[in-house]
Structures are given as structure tokens and as C-alpha cells.
Copies of this chain bind each other. A is one copy, B any other.
Amino acid sequence: MTKTQGAASLPLNQILRGDCIDAMDSLPAASIDLIFADPPYNLQLKGALHRPDNSQVDAVDDAWDQFSSFSAYDQFTRAWLKAARRVLKPDGAIWVIGSYHNIFRVGTALQDAGFWILNDVVWRKTNPMPNFKGKRLTNAHETMIWAGRDEGSKYTFNYDALKALNEGVQMRSDWTLPICSGHEREKDKDGNKAHPTQKPQSLLHRVLVGTTRPGDVVLDPFFGSGTTGAVAKMLGRDFIGCERDESYITVAERRLARVRKLDKSALEVTQSKRAEPRVPFGQLVERGMLRPGEKLVNARGQIAKVRADGTLVADQLTGSIHQVGAALDGAPSCNGWTYWSFTREGQKVPIDILRQQIRAEMR
């Protein structure tokens, strides 16, 4: 299918084979409404990584993620961004997703090329891979940059749609969503994951609902398994994908054939009521609601002292509020939140009151 766009026409809802720069250069200038790009992250992993149970992590070690230096990665980034900028309409916008390995290079290149950053958005993963060796923090998020083509671009932003998606509260710059797994994950003929870094549809759903209109043309220069195309088709947007790996193209085409455009009623999303958020006891210390060194007391008048990392000490015992409570009672377990009290103005107050305060703030 093609669409007349000014004097030229666009190869809509197709995957363009080969290098994305060549593919974008073949399109007319100022013809695209939105670009979503998931470029290589330049991970540069060294050796194999094993889980504590000795299973090996299936790492992203594909040739397409290998660059010889930051400088080589920058050159690559600036080249594809230049081609991307040419095909964008003056009021068009771009999203790029990445991790700390590459996102700072991408952000700098975007600003240097004249794009105007509108927000950086954090995708908080509900189920990230842990840090198996305990040497760093769990890498639990990825970063997306949303930018207009120019400082003055009149970008599309469906404020009320996103507010509705967020239970009537203005959508924030941090999005909590699970990684792509289960039925949603595309498999090859052996049942293995067909693409190492398939993005969840929920992420693209939010991007496209929030920053495109029905009938808009969305370009994805690194199409991969085709999540952008699948969600675009479902939401009644047109897409153009670029991909140089034939096996990914095969997977994406099979996937796209399965996708049906949603009717209006199906588009209405139902939000599940989220459970009460977990509040670590240490947060009461960090936030100064309890001082390190402060004394807590249980119903029998036994005392424990708070430490800077949110653990307690009582007699010879050390551990979490739950562990120390259980040990003092000789019980297998204990709810520390209701077990311990602190003192304010001569009154004993259960520490759970403080947790409730934090939860109230989080809402």
C-alpha cells in the first residue's frame, strides 16, 4: 500500500530491507509524523555470566551490537539521526530508547542535531533481571527520550488520553511496565526467543496513544521483531519499518499478519487496581521519620535500636524488623510493622503509622 504525500508516495505498512539510512534516504523529506527508534545499545559485554544456580545468562552478543569505540558509536548515531530528521515533518517528533551504555551518547547527539527534548521517560521494569553477583544495583529500568524535530515543533500530545490511562491523574515521566515474555514473546521454529530484545507492546501502546493521531505515519528504523508495527496496526496508525536481518523480517511479517486493528470499544483499556506498594522499613530511616539510634519497643517492653541501614539490634540479635521480632518471640515469623512502636511526645505509636504516611504520599 502506498499513500500520496505531497508529490511523492510512501511505502506504508511495509518493511524496507537493508540499512536503515539507505531506506530512510529513499523516502521523501518531511513525510513522517513520528519515529520510534530502538538502536543497538553497544553493551560491550566481556565474559559469560552465570546465575547463582549455575545456569548461563543468554546475553546480547549479536554482531549488530558491536562497535569498536564510543567514537564509532557516535558516528553511527549521528548518521542515522540525520537521515531520520530529514524524513520527519517539521512538527514531527522522535522517541529513542536505550540504557546507560548508549543513552547519553544518543541524547547528546539529538541535542546537537537540533532536536528539542520534551521529556526523558523511564521504563521501570516490574520484573528485571537481578544483579547476580551483587556488585551493582539491579539494572531495573531503561530510558526513552522524546524530542520534537525542532525547538518550536508543534508536536502531538494527547494529554487527556494519557491522563485517562493513568486513572485520571496526569501521566508522569516514569512508566512501570513488565518486560515482554510469555505468549507475547515471538518464538523461532525451535521455540527460542526470535529476537533478543523484543519490547513489550504496552510500552509502544503508551507511546503511540500519547504522541500520535489515528492515520499518522510511524517510522521505526530498527524494526526487529516488529513491535512498533504491530501496535501501530492495532491502533489504526500506518507504519514503515527498516530492517536488515532477513530472519527478523520473517518473524515480523508473520507477526503483523496476525495483528487485527482494534475496534473502538476494544481500545478502551481496563486498569487493574494495583496492590498497596511495598514500603521498605529503611525508608523511614532515610526519610528521617526515625533516627538511626532511636529505640523501638514491643508489647512486652523489650527494646531494639534502629541502625542506619534499616536493620535493628536487640541484645545479641540483628536483622530486619520482622526477623528481630520473630527471634524475640521465638516465633517462626512476625509482622514487624505492627510489632514495633516508637515514642512521640510520651506516646507509644506503632511504626505502621509511618508506613501509612509514606503510602499516602505515594498516591
Given that A269-B307, A269-B309, A307-B268 are contacting pairs, would A108 and B104 also be in contact in the complex, using a CB cutoff of 8 Å? yes
Judge if A247 is at the interface, Cβ distance under 8 Å.
no
Contact residue among B70, B141, B262 (Cβ-Cβ distance under 8 Å from A173): B141
**In the bound complex, do residue A164 and residue B70 qualify as a contact, i.e. CB atoms below 8 Å apart?**
no
Q: Could you tell me if B293 and A262 are in contact, using CB atoms closer than 8 angstroms?
A: yes
Q: 7 other contacts beyond A143-B143, A169-B280, with CB at 8 A cut-off?
A: A103-B120, A134-B159, A140-B172, A140-B174, A165-B282, A167-B310, A178-B287
Q: Are B167 and A280 within 8 A (Cβ)?
A: yes
Interfacial residues of chain A within 182-217, with CB under 8 A of chain B in the complex: 184, 200-202, 205-206, 209
Given contacts A140-B173, A167-B280, contact A107 B103 (CB under 8 A): yes
Q: A31 CB to closest chain B CB, in angstroms?
A: 25
Question: Closest approach, in angstroms, between the C-beta of A141 and any C-beta of chain B?
Answer: 5
Measured CA separation A164–B313 after assembly (Å) = 13
Quote the shortest CB–CB distance from A272 to chain B (angstroms).
8
Q: Is the CB of A135 within 8 A of B108?
A: no
13 CB contacts below 8 A, A to B, read A50-B333, A108-B108, A128-B172, A138-B171, A138-B172, A140-B173, A161-B309, A164-B311, A166-B280, A177-B286, A262-B293, A266-B291, A269-B307
Against B, the Cβ 8 Å flags (1 = close, 0 = not) of A50-94 are 100010000000000000001000000000000000000000000
- A interface residues, how many (CB within 8 angstroms): 103
Please, what's the 1-or-0 string for A275-309, where 1 marks a CB less than 8 Å from any CB in chain B? 00010111101111001110000000000011111
Instruction: Write out the residue numbers on chain B whose beta carbons fall within 8 Å of the beta carbon of A159.
Output: 134-135
Chain B contacts for A137, CB-based, 8 A: 119, 121, 146, 162, 170-173
Q: Which one of A19-27, A110-118, A248-256, A341-349 is at the B interface?
A: A110-118
Q: Which residues of B contact A178 (CB under 8 A)?
A: 287, 361
Given A209-B308, A286-B165, A362-B136 contact (CB < 8 Å): no
Q: A130-B170, A165-B280, A266-B308 are in contact. Are A100 and B135 (CB under 8 A)?
A: no
**Is the Cβ of B174 less than 8 Å from the Cβ of A122?**
yes
Q: Determine the residue in chain B with the shortest Cβ distance to A282.
A: B165
Docked-complex contact A262 and B308, CB < 8 angstroms: yes
Q: Which of B105, B162, B305 contacts A265 (CB 8 A)?
A: B305
Set of chain B residues within 8 Å of A318, measured between Cβ atoms: 270
Query: Per-residue 0/1 for A136-171: is the Cβ within 8 Å of any B Cβ (1 yes, 0 no)?
Result: 111111010110000000000111011011111111
A100 touches B117 (CB 8 A): yes
On whether the beta carbons of A309 and B270 are closer than 8 Å, the reply is yes
